[in-house]
């Protein structure tokens, strides 16, 4: 049975907060001891609380003084290395969460545009799509066509390098239609397309048709490579 995830928020109930503090403090001291023993390092812990007049120290006052003195003898640059306080720790967590959110938004956007692209490939028109959708779809088509070109080149290379049976026979070149020639370079068509806003939908429709032709060429190339 998995443990319930603890909500990191201030405990408003006094008795519950005190009980949690004692339990967590005991666990913290135990973890410091385990870390020191397992990794063979010098460590200490000093915990102040509103419930005790004196701080609790691990392993003891003498051991803590020795570790702290050793720490203070280090250069200031080394002392501050990877050191965080509560504010910097929270800032780091916020920054990390923001990066994760940005990545998720990007992934979701790519899935949305991919869905729109598939709808267009199955016959749905481009009417109703805004400039942002057309722009993103053009970028996605570029990426897909780059992947297709790379795949075709890989199939060509595999066909050429495949060992022949008996007499060495020069492999027949893979015959592709004009879509591949029109597909390169991918950025040229996109720059021209974006420069002529009146033909955005028409240009993207042509590109979608080219994507279908190139995909068919990839399937044919894969079948030819499989027969060899």
Q: What is the pLDDT of residue 190?
A: 41
Helix/strand/coil for 45: strand
Q: What is the pLDDT of residue 212?
A: 60
* Domain positions in the chain: 14-73, 103-161+174-227
CB 180 within 8 A of CB 149: yes
152 exposed, middle or buried (CB, 10 Å; 0-12, 13-18, 19+)? buried
**Distant-in-sequence, close-in-space partners of 58: CB < 8 Å, separation ≥ 6:** 29, 32, 33, 44, 45, 64
Q: Which residue has the tokens 């970028």?
A: 139
Domain spanning 14-73: CATH superfamily: Transcription factor, MADS-box (3.40.1810.10)
CA–CA gap between residue 179 and residue 220 (Å, rounded): 13
Q: Each residue of 161-199: pLDDT tens digit? A: 766 544 444 544 444 444 444 444 444 444 444 444 445
Q: Which residue has the tokens 């419930």?
A: 51
CB 206 within 8 A of CB 138: no
Q: Which residues of the chain have pLDDT under 70?
A: 1-2, 162-228
Q: What is the pLDDT of residue 219?
A: 56
Beta bridge partners of 47: 56
Q: What is the pLDDT of residue 176?
A: 45
């Amino acid at each position: 049975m998995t443990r319930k995830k603890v909500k990191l928020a201030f405990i408003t109930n006094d008795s519950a907060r005190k009980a949690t503090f004692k339990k967590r403090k005991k666990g913290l001291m135990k973890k410091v001891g385990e870390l020191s023993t397992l990794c063979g390092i010098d460590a200490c812990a000093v915990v102040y609380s509103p419930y005790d007049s004196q701080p609790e120290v691990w392993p003891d006052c003498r051991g803590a003084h020795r570790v702290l003195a050793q720490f203070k003898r280090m250069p200031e640059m080394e002392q501050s290395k990877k050191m965080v306080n509560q504010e910097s720790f929270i800032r780091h967590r916020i920054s990390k969460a923001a990066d994760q959110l940005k990545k998720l938004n990007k992934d979701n956007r790519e899935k949305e545009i991919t869905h729109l692209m598939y709808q267009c490939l199955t016959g749905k028109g481009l009417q109703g799509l805004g400039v942002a959708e057309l722009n993103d779809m053009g970028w996605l088509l570029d990426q897909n066509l780059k992947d297709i070109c790379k795949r075709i080149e890989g199939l060509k290379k595999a066909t050429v390098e495949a060992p022949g049976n008996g007499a060495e026979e020069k492999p027949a070149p893979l015959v592709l239609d004009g879509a591949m020639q029109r597909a390169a370079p991918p950025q040229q068509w996109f720059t021209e397309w974006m420069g002529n806003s009146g033909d955005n939908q028409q240009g993207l429709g042509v590109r979608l048709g080219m994507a279908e032709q190139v995909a068919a060429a990839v399937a044919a190339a894969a079948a030819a490579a499989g027969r060899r």
